[in-house]
Structure 1
Amino acid sequence: MSEGYLKEEHHIFRKSLRKFLEKEAVPYYDKWEENRMIPREFWLKLGAEGFLCPWVDEQYGGFNADFAYSVVLNEELERVGSSLVGIGLHNDIVVPYLASYGTEEQKKKWLPNCVSGNKITAIAMTEPGAGSDLANLKTTAIKDGDYYIVNGEKTFITNGIQSDLIVIACKTDSHANPAYKGISLLVVERDTVGFKRGTKLNKVGLHSQDTAELIFEDAKVPVTNLLGEEGKGFYYLMDKLQQERLIVGITAQVAAEEMVRMTIDYTKNRQAFGQPISKFQNTQYKLVEMATEVEIGRTFLDNLIRNHIEGKDVVTQVSMAKWWITDMAKRVASECMQLHGGYGYMEEYPIARRYRDIPVMAIYAGTNEIMKNIIAKNLGL
């Protein structure tokens, strides 16, 4: 593949990252899945090697890397396993809010720790009664002197257990009309009075990725932790969702590529009726169809990445990629498991884990149904 946006330095970075992951992640990944947690020590190792938020400005500990470095990071993390999604979320979804909308004082306080791995981040939008419908979220933040008093609940929060800094979407003006103009972003720190973590959620897949409920009961958040301006939270969220959904597309694409690769290898070695099952026409047709879809996805995705790097508005196309590539990855997971036969249902085969991990990609970062709503609106329908 000739991605175009990848230069020699990016290939060197990939080689270094892959070597690091083969040593520090691959041998332990099964244990992390069993323990239902990625150890904080791994985050610190990532930070020490420059694999956390490399795009951050040098004055805050990063090295001003372009988005192509983020692409490489998300691809290589996904090749190890989908449960490393929380690292990509920290790197390219949450910390960009701090860098873009934080004051100089906030950036000096938080960004170096995000780069080093000393602070793990999360973003809390989804609520028990409000997922895609952000304008109707119920969490409130009422200003009281030097603090906001926060009340509400968040759920399905990636990095919810381990996070030290949580960007929460909340209502600072419950009477705003339209409602979305009352939404603001606050940064909640680990030891905030009145903040606690609820249940660590028991998911179908992504087992080592900690996902949790967050509870705010008269939580006291300093007014200095307001991110950007009051009432601008919805606009900030909309501004960053293009990159968030692009990241999901990248991980789904890599997952599909990995599943096709491992299934081709399996079918070449699995014997039935005196020959490798890759020799059967049905197997060949299935693999050809999947390989074609994967190639189409990669071509579309690489073009989107180039446009995103150039700063173009590709919200419509990113929404297309997010729903189509994640749906494609779900189809690939199902077909690849089928081609593995009974062994595909066994946990020791990685296709079984992929089969469990992939479906949620069509749900988080905005469901695929919401993606189609966005596309329809932008098509003038």
Structure 2
Amino acid sequence: MDTAAFLRHIEESFARIFSDGLCLMEYLPEDKWLALKQAGLLLPFLDEQHGGRKADQFEIQEVLRIAGHYGVPVTLRTGIEGALVLQPLQEFGNPAQIAQGLDLIFNGEGGGLAVTEPETSGAAIAREMQSFYEYRDANTVYVNAAKYWQGNSQSDFLLVAAKERKNGKLSKVINLLLVPKQYIRYEALKSEGLRAVRYAVNRIDAEMPAAQVMKLSESDTAGLRAFQNIFIRSRLQLVGMTHGIMEYIVENAEKFVRRDIKFVEYERREILRRYAVSKILYGFTCKHVSPDAPVAHQLMEANIIKTLATEFTYDAAQMLQKLLGAKGFERGHPASNIAIDFRPFTIFEGPNDMLYAEIYDQFTRATAAEKEAGVKLDKSQTLLMRLQSDNRFGTVSLPERALPDDIAAFLSRHTLGGACPLEKVFIGKVVAKLFAFVQAEADDAAAFLLKSIRKDILDCAYC
């Protein structure tokens, strides 16, 4: 099938498989989830050599978007198995591991990626990670790990992130292990939302075949970079999920919200303005990301997409819930669970405020391409000068998007090395929204982004 026919087939499959309704307050029925996968839901994430589709970022984004029309948990589970399991499995697994994983995914309950730990949470890829594996002999490893808050945590297997231990010491290298469920103990978590995606504390304390180890790299630096790239790609693709959810919010607003009250109409327009920004971010990933090309150089863009897509979608979900009144708090209403289910998106893979500070750091440092060209950034250079020289903005900027004088003046008052840790958060927000602003084709979206940027500038002034 060509792309158009394939995507029609996926839409028809969703409509058929969920024709008798879908309860998002309980775990997604495993038979229906398997039927979706067997209908081809995950094929855009799968390489052609393994029976998947021809590499096409648009198809990946579209299946995530379509799934979003059936609720947050449905698109989240699509993203988990596609971006966090299938893609790393194919990139780092050997033929036997890939065959084992694909069989469990397409003929069983699939798998998840286990990274965060109960004691260290978001510091998972730093030195705090304590999960480890240790070779007993050439054919056996002992694995000791505690993980939590990974989706699909009670599925057929987990890709478990762990460090190798030698002579009682943990190395810096992080690798993955394909761990079948027979080695994993589960302690179910009672989450406030996302009940349709099973979460648990997973504990592993067992010997297993050494063939389950997936080496990311023999080099410490390259291994950590490869591990980080999993999340760079995941963040770039995240907008497929959030855009589908945003469309779901817009649809429910049109369906359930009255439009003859001026303030209600104002709030509805605010939702649509955030939807317009979502379109910009969605378009960027479709145009500038490729599933078969490296993404290490797009860390800043990935963090921008993750923060803005989740922030504006969560804003829209809260507005919709408010406009629904009591219905917005009614269990089982099609739109009542969106806000609570979506809130974790602003936290996982890095809390947004932390990522805004990182965006500032990434913006004020020379890119890999600049370093290769011998470019060195002067820390006394202003943010405005940096914006004008940064190719990441120049390649996406539209000529009609001139920077207003007041925002240019703000950027001129700050140098690359002059922000304190708190100011980095607010300036990072400004940088992120400018990245969307320079791409905005619609004047309404551009005006909304400028308004939001000016608020961030005020927050920076009074922080």
Residue 46 of structure 1, aligned match among 33, 36, 60? 36
Residue 355 of structure 2, aligned match among 371, 374, 378? 371
Secondary structure of 1:148's counterpart equals strand
- Structure 1 pair 143/205, CA: closer, same or farther in 2 (3 Å)? same
Matched residues in 2 for 1:220 and 1:38: separation? 32
Residue 22 of structure 2, aligned match among 19, 29, 42? 29
Q: How far 1:118 sits from its partner (Å)?
A: 2.5
What runs of 5+ residues in structure 2 fail to find an aligned partner? 365-416, 418-463
Matched residues in 1 for 2:321 and 2:329: separation? 7
Matched residues in 1 for 2:202 and 2:94: separation? 25
Matched residues in 2 for 1:176 and 1:291: separation? 56
The aligned counterpart of 1:168 is: 160
Q: How far 1:302 sits from its partner (Å)?
A: 1.1
The aligned counterpart of 1:99 is: 90
1:1-381 correspondence to structure 2 within 5 Å: 9-25=2-18, 27-30=20-23, 33-34=24-25, 36-84=26-74, 85-114=76-105, 116-118=106-108, 120-133=110-123, 134-135=125-126, 136-145=128-137, 146-162=139-155, 164-173=156-165, 181-192=172-183, 195-197=184-186, 199-217=187-205, 219-228=206-215, 229=217, 231=220, 233-268=223-258, 278-309=259-290, 311=293, 313-380=297-364
Q: Are the equivalent residues in 2 in contact too, given 1:132–1:370 (CA < 8 A)? A: no
Q: How far 1:123 sits from its partner (Å)?
A: 0.6
Q: How far 1:59 sits from its partner (Å)?
A: 4.1
Paired positions, count: 355
Matched residues in 1 for 2:161 and 2:67: separation? 28
- Structure 1 pair 359/281, CA: closer, same or farther in 2 (3 Å)? same
Counterpart AA for 1:203: S
Counterpart AA for 2:88: Y
What runs of 5+ residues in structure 1 fail to find an aligned partner? 1-7, 269-277
Bigger RCO of structures 1 and 2 (CA < 8 A, at least 6 apart): 1
Q: Are the equivalent residues in 2 in contact too, given 1:90–1:122 (CA < 8 A)? A: yes
Matched residues in 1 for 2:45 and 2:306: separation? 23
Q: Are the equivalent residues in 1 in contact too, given 2:149–2:199 (CA < 8 A)? A: yes
* Max Rg structure: 2
- Structure 1 pair 138/358, CA: closer, same or farther in 2 (3 Å)? same
Q: How far 1:347 sits from its partner (Å)?
A: 2.3
Q: How far 1:322 sits from its partner (Å)?
A: 0.7
- Structure 1 pair 168/233, CA: closer, same or farther in 2 (3 Å)? farther
Secondary structure of 1:351's counterpart equals coil
The aligned counterpart of 1:271 is: none
Matched residues in 1 for 2:181 and 2:261: separation? 56
- Structure 1 pair 300/87, CA: closer, same or farther in 2 (3 Å)? closer
Instruction: Map Cα deviations across residues 160-209 of structure 1 (whole Å, 9 max, x no partner).
Output: 112x22111112147999x87332221111223xx322x21111111111
Q: How far 1:112 sits from its partner (Å)?
A: 4.5
Matched residues in 1 for 2:166 and 2:271: separation? 49
Q: How far 1:235 sits from its partner (Å)?
A: 2.4
Matched residues in 1 for 2:19 and 2:199: separation? 21
The aligned counterpart of 2:368 is: none
Q: Are the equivalent residues in 2 in contact too, given 1:304–1:318 (CA < 8 A)? A: no
- Structure 1 pair 220/175, CA: closer, same or farther in 2 (3 Å)? closer
Instruction: Map Cα deviations across residues 337-369 of structure 1 (whole Å, 9 max, x no partner).
Output: 111122222224322111221101111222213
Instruction: Map Cα deviations across residues 217-251 of structure 1 (whole Å, 9 max, x no partner).
Output: 2x113221111245565322211212211333322
* Identity, % of aligned positions: 18
Matched residues in 2 for 1:112 and 1:237: separation? 24
